[in-house]
Amino acid sequence: MVKLTSEFGIFENEQFLTEPKNCNLAVPNIKLTVDEDGNGVFVKLFTDKPAFYVSLETRGLLGEFDDNIFTLMPDRERIIRFTNSNGIATKELRDAITVRHLRSTY
> pLDDT tens digit string along 51-64?
999 999 998 888 99
- With contact defined as beta carbons under 8 Å apart, do 31 and 44 qualify? no
Map out the domains of the chain with their CATH numbers: 25-105 (2.60.40.10)
Strands (E), the chain: 2-6, 9-13, 30-37, 40-47, 51-58, 64-65, 70-72, 78-83, 97-100
User: Higher pLDDT residue, 61 or 47?
Assistant: 47
Whether 13 has a pLDDT exceeding 90, the answer reads no
CB 93 within 8 A of CB 59: no
pLDDT of residue 18: 87
Phi, psi of 97 (to 5 degrees): -85, 140
Residues in the chain: 106
For residues 74 and 35, give the distance between their C-alpha atoms in angstroms, rounded to a whole number. 20
Largest CA distance in the chain: 44
Q: Write down the mean pLDDT value for the chain.
A: 89
Give the other-Cβ count within 10 Å of 8's Cβ: 7
49-98 pLDDT, tens digit each: 999 999 999 988 889 999 999 999 998 899 999 998 777 888 899 999 99
pLDDT over 90 at 5, yes or no: no
